[in-house]
Amino acid sequence: MVGSTESSDPRSRGRVPGGLALALLLLATLVAAGPSNSDLGVRTPSARPATAVAHAAVLSGPGAAAPAADWPVYHQNPGRTGEYPTFPTFAGPLAAGWSTALDGAVYAEPLVVNGTAFAATEGDSVYAIDPGSGAILWRRNLGTPVPLSTLPCGNIDPLGITGTPAYDPVTGSIFAVAEVTGPQHILFALDPATGTVRWSRVVDLAGDDPRTHQQRPALAVANGYVYIGFGGLAGDCGQYVGEEVGVPASGVGATISYTVPTSREGAIWSTGGPVIDAAGNLYVSVGNGASTTTYDGTDSVLELSPTLQLLSFFAPSTWAADNAGDADLGSLSPVLVPGGWVFIAGKSGTGYVLHQGSLGGIGGQVSSATVCTGFGGAAQSGGTIYVPCSGSLREVQVGTNGSLTPGWQSAAAGGPPVIGGGAVWSVNTSAGSLVALDPATGATLGSIAVGAVPHFVSPTLWQDRVLVGTMAGISSVTMPSVPSTRSTFHALTPARILDTRNGTGGISGAIDSHAARTFGVTGHGGVPTGATAVTGNLTVTGQTSNGYLFIGPNPTDNPTSSTLNFPVGDDRANGVTVALGTGGTLSVTFVAPFPGPVAHVIFDVTGYFTPDNTGATYVPLNPSRLLDTRNGAGLNGPFGSHSARAFAATATGVVPGNATAVTGNLTVTGQTSGGYLFIGPVATNDPTSSTLNFPVGDDRANGVAVALGAGGTLGVTFVAPAPGPTAQVIFDVTGYFAH
């Protein structure tokens, strides 16, 4: 996204009056009879603000990706798909993991941000938890929850934090809404590292009665706002009106809102919360309203702009009967389906497909079918939707033409599902069990008890485990470990363990073409006996022909794959992760197009893997630029030769403070001489190993896995053959290792 621009977006700051909203709805009804018709990554950044870039990343479409290992909002992404593509394939049987008691029931879906789990409770507390062990890292109590005895109705006692919080990668805050004694609803911005409250503000709108308004939907963060939905308590007592509220994520600026134009009810309460499309527009569902004679904007799906202006709506032609019989659409969050469709199924049991961006007005659906009574948040993969029903789970298919075809239905579970590892994961709320279902047939793959759970509880997938909120706290479930194929990482200071120019590694002299050579790895450079694989940097120099190098665990004179390709007379390097062979060895082969040429080979080791849990585990990230000396990111100005400089890889918050190593891409550009770069945990003016070799005037990059130094720093050195030359350096992080 570097190099793109974003236009300004003047934002309306006022609350939408009910009369105006209703007029817009009626106008939409009249018009909605049918639907409306090769530079190696070295780029000069535009003037686009960093915050704009980050928000664009959040809004890259339904299912817009957070880092694959994270679960930063309800159902993982702004599109609320609930799909976790890196979850390991279901292997069964399921095993109980840790279970951690907290100060109240966990109605909100647990989150995972930068390898730390977060749980919010009805005790008005937010907890940071180690998702591997269940250990509490910190707790922040935000107030005193409201006893049910002080409310006119309801079914949660006490009432604290019910809606799922949301993490904002732009501000680096976790947002949660707590209902506290008064009562009142307060939005808190928390530092995920410490739990410190950065700011807070009351989010009850003027004229509202906080006793009758409940904040149950999951929060969403987009467009620079935190979006918060409000409905009523179980029992629909008292005077309340459904609302969607927007608060600036910075904590500075006016609150915006949309109020359902009904005299009473019209709750925005579905636990899945608002769904965000690629343009930043919100889709919400609305419950039954007071009117059965004049349409009042209830029993509907709404499309709202980033500033919460009404763009389009849909209501069934049966809205009056739905309102009278509490059979509305507000119980399920809308689902955005590829191809420009929206799916919804509410309490009536009828499912509808709508046009995204032009929802159709009253009776303007594209297709409909009997599905089930939907509650909570669905999961979606492509055109397949898994709908949480009352006591069951239902598969439906939305065709490319907007058709709706119901599929299998399973009574084994019915809580809001998520998808990962070839399974659909849902909680049987009556039995208190986590269930894995076959996504193709609905057959039960596995099931395990997790204890008493709240209504509409939805699981969270993280690495190889499932996290479930319970009435007592949070529990984890794991799939069987496979020690023979799973390893953890140990970072090393780069060390040269092979150099055929001087005999390091036991191979002396240039190697011939098609003649594999083996060298020892364990016992050298800090790699212990028992290591199963290493990371490092493979370099060729002094080659008398073009060709390629192969490195692997077993010697082969005629490899069928290559590791490093090169022309004649050009030193080149490539970062590698490679399994070790018998006895902790590696074998390297030089392959030339004809007999006779030779090449010198160098290997610098940077880390190793062991088949246990003693090392660090890997967390992939969306690539993020941490260093660009051209514009002052990380360090300012070009490097001089033999003058080491350090930058903090953890400074921007992309890499957490507990990381021990990172993976990334090191790039050189604008070099006025040939030479090489070194990157490592310690800044050194005269490094003994190299990371990236290059000639003058040739932008080059190399993938690396590198240990972090004290304070999360990395040292970089440019080495030229003579004093005077300079070089610009770029580093993009792609992941990190942490214990």
Please write the tens of the pLDDT for every residue from 584-601: 999 999 999 998 999 999
With 80 as the cut, is the pLDDT of residue 258 above it? yes
pLDDT (tens digit, 9 = 90+) per residue, 317-326? 999 999 999 9
pLDDT band at 657 (very low <50, low <70, confident <90, very high): confident
| pLDDT reading at 26 higher than 70 | no
Per the structure block, which two tokens stand in for 358? 């032009």
* 357 compared with 611, residue with greater pLDDT: 357
Task: Reply yes or no on whether the pLDDT at 484 is more than 50.
Answer: no
Residue in 544, 555, 538, 551 with CA at minimum distance from that of residue 512: 544
Shared domain check, 600 and 646: no
Indicate which CATH number applies to the domain containing 108.
2.140.10.10
Q: What is the mean pLDDT of the chain?
A: 89
**SS3 state of residue 18:** helix
Domain identity same for 591 and 673: no
Of the candidates 257, 213, 238, 212, the one whose C-alpha atom is nearest the C-alpha of residue 13 is: 257
Residue that wins the pLDDT comparison between 42 and 324: 324
630 within some domain: yes
Instruction: Supply the pTM of this predicted model.
Output: 0.63
Q: How confident is the model at residue 96 (pLDDT cuts 50, 70, 90)?
A: very high
Residue 24 covered by a domain? no
Q: Are residues 249 and 379 in the same domain?
A: yes
Domain endpoint, select from 563, 594, 610: 610
- For residue 42, which of 739, 697, 716 has the smallest C-alpha distance? 697
Are 597 and 724 in the same domain? no
Domain stop point among 595, 610, 625: 610
CATH of the domain at 511: 2.60.120
Q: Closest Cα to residue 655, out of 729, 712, 611, 589?
A: 712
Predicted local confidence at residue 666, as pLDDT: 93
Domain boundary among 578, 610, 642: 610
* Backbone angles phi and psi of 360, in degrees to 5: 110, -10
Residue 688 and residue 559 in one domain? no
pLDDT in tens, 198-216: 999 999 999 999 999 999 9
Query: Are 334 and 62 in contact, with CB atoms under 8 Å apart?
Result: no
Q: Summarize the confidence of residues 399-428 as an average pLDDT.
A: 96
Whether pLDDT at 27 is above 80: no
Q: By residue range, what is the domain housing residue 464?
A: 47-478
- Give the burial string for 223-238 (b: 16+ CB within 10 Å, else e): bbbbbbbbbbbeebee
Q: Is 51 helix (H, G, I), strand (E, B) or coil?
A: helix
> How many whole angstroms separate alpha carbon 280 and alpha carbon 586?
51
The secondary structure of residue 325, as a DSSP letter, is H
Q: What are phi and psi of 28, to 5 degrees?
A: -60, -35
Same domain, 463 and 571: no
562 DSSP 8-state letter: -
Provide the pLDDT confidence category of residue 614 given band limits of 50, 70 and 90.
Answer: confident
pLDDT category at 34 given cuts 50, 70, 90 is: very low
Both 526 and 629 in a single domain? Answer: no
**Residues 231, 356 within the same domain:** yes
Domain count for the chain: 3
Domain annotation covers residue 4: no
- Residue 487 has what pLDDT? 81
Same structural domain, 468 and 495 = no
- Highest mean pLDDT range out of 2-16, 67-81, 179-193? 179-193
- pLDDT of 538 strictly over 80: yes
Q: State the Cα–Cα distance between residues 284 and 367, nearest whole angstrom.
A: 19
pLDDT band at 486 (very low <50, low <70, confident <90, very high): low
Domain match, 470 and 492 both: no
* 27 in any annotated domain: no
Give the alpha-carbon dihedral of 648, 652, 654, 659, to 10 degrees: 30
C-alpha 237/C-alpha 214 separation (Å) is: 11
Task: Tell whether the model's pLDDT for residue 64 goes beyond 80.
Answer: no
In a domain, 406, yes or no: yes
Q: Does 391 map to a domain?
A: yes
pLDDT tier at 69, thresholds 50, 70, 90 = low
Question: Is the model's pLDDT at 62 over the cut of 90?
Answer: no
DSSP classification of residue 633: B
Does the pLDDT of residue 58 top 80, yes or no? Answer: no
Residues 338-346, mean pLDDT to the nearest whole number = 96
The fraction of the chain above a pLDDT of 70, given in percent, is 90
Least confident of 371-380, 390-399, 651-660: 651-660
pLDDT exceeds 50 at position 18: no
| Stretch 415-428: mean pLDDT | 95
Comparing 39-48, 222-231, 234-243, 274-283, the range with the smallest average pLDDT is: 39-48
Q: Name residue, tokens 């790699």.
A: 527
Is residue 689, in this structure, part of any structural domain at all?
A: yes
> Do 500 and 595 fall within a single domain?
yes
Say if 6 falls within a structural domain. Answer: no
Do 446 and 575 lie in one domain? The reply is: no
Q: Is the pLDDT of residue 30 over 50?
A: no
Which residues, 6 or more positions from 50, have their beta carbon under 8 angstroms from its beta carbon? none
381: which residues sit within 8 A by CB, 6+ positions away? 81, 83, 419, 439
Per DSSP, the three-state class of 349 is coil
